[in-house]
Structure 1
Amino acid sequence: MATIRNAREDETGTLRDIGLRAWEKAMINVGEMVGIRDNARAAFDTFTRQAWLTITVIEQGGVIAGWAAREGLDELISDFWIDPPFQHRGLGSTLLSAIEADIIRQGFDTARIETHARNEEAVSFFEKHGYRINWLSAAYSPKLDREVQSVGLSKVLVEESAETYGPSV
């Protein structure tokens, strides 16, 4: 059984390593990882140490299997990582549902996420869960010290009810 909970400060090293392993798997389709792995590791290290309060983890059997973050505590899921040995077990779906519930509880009606454009597995995962691609761009990433192609996806979590006059039929 999976458990969802807030991250703890003493777990930042574990979270960094999970993020890096999941990132490396995702980057296989992109290639050219030589030289940027160290930058990515440093970025994960800095992020998890500074933003651990915004991180939600999923555990299975008492082991952290993945994590997600909402760095700005808004509708943007800034990070979403499942450790490769735990992928394809439904844990990502469980974690995503918990994050979406948090977004709704905090008053937002839409969830957003960004990922590398060539991360076909992630794009497919989010599309399977109702997300739609809104944009495609290429921009310089200071974290990785290179230009990165990205896609933005979003999902409406709360449908607006139509305002009508009189009794509904």
Structure 2
Amino acid sequence: MITIRNARRDEAQLLADIGFRAWEKAMIPVGETKAMVENARAAFRNFTSSGWLTISVIELNGQPAGWAAREELDEDITDFWIDPEFQGMGLGTALLEELEKEILRQGFDKASLQTHARNEEAVHFFEKRGYSVHWLTIAYNPKLDRDVQSVGLSKQLAAPVVPGYGQEF
């Protein structure tokens, strides 16, 4: 059974471990160094400890299998991690659909996110679910302490409201 719920403070380390494992798998093709690995591990610990209120957890049969965050509780999905052991089981799709519903409920008409440009698996995952790449950039990532090539993706969730004739603005 799949369950999606809010994170709890007492599971910050468990969520950090899940995020780190998923990040590590995604970054293997990029050839990350040991220093980056330690920076990433620390960044996951720090974020899940301080940002747990913005995290949604997906469980399979009561076991946390992944999580996503919206740090500003807006349309931006800032983290999206499925433990490699649970990838390919539909959990990512279920979690993404739930995030999109929440974004719509909060009055936003699109969802957006960014990922490492060479994370082809993630880019393909989001494109398959209706997201389009809108930009490519190289910017300093303080979590990793280096420049990173990123792509921005977004998906229109609802038709934008366009005032019609005779409507007040």
TM range (shorter): over 0.9
Please name the residue that 2:84 is paired with: 84
Deviations 1:4-42 (A, max 9, x none): 000000010000000000000000111133211100000
Whole-Å separation in 2 of the counterparts to 1:124 and 1:58: 21
Instruction: Determine the structure 2 residue equivalent to 1:155.
Output: 155
Q: Which residue of 1 aligns with 2:34?
A: 34
Q: Which amino acid aligns with 2:157?
A: L
CA displacement 1:73-95 (0-9 Å, x = unmatched) = 00000000000000000000000
Residue 62 (structure 2) pairs with residue 65 (structure 1): no
Aligned to 1:52: 52
The residue type equivalent to 2:81 in the other structure is: W
The total of aligned residue pairs comes to 166
In structure 2, runs of 5+ residues without a counterpart are: none
CA distance in 2, matches of 1:38, 1:58: 25
For the aligned residues, what is the CA RMSD? 1.3
Residue 109 and residue 118 in structure 1: after superposition, are their counterparts in 2 closer, same or farther (change >3 A)? same
1:116-135 mapped onto 2 (5 Å cutoff): 116-135=116-135
Letter in structure 2 aligned against 1:103: I
Question: Secondary structure of 1:29's match?
Answer: helix
For normalisation by structure 1, the TM-score amounts to: 0.95
Question: 1:20 corresponds to which residue?
Answer: 20
1:27-74 CA-partner distances (Å, limit 9, x unpaired): 011113321110000000000011000000000011000000000000
Query: 8 Å contact 1:27–1:33 — kept in the other structure?
Result: no
Runs of 4+ aligned residues of structure 1 deviating over 2 Å after TM superposition are 160-165
The Cα of 1:162 is off from its aligned counterpart by: 6.0
Deviation at 1:143, TM superposition (A): 1.1
1:160 deviation in Å?
Answer: 2.8
- Looking at structure 2, the residues matched to 65 and 11 of structure 1 have their Cα atoms a distance apart, in angstroms, of 12
Q: Distance in 2 between matches of 1:161 and 1:77?
A: 22
Gaps of 5+ in 1: none
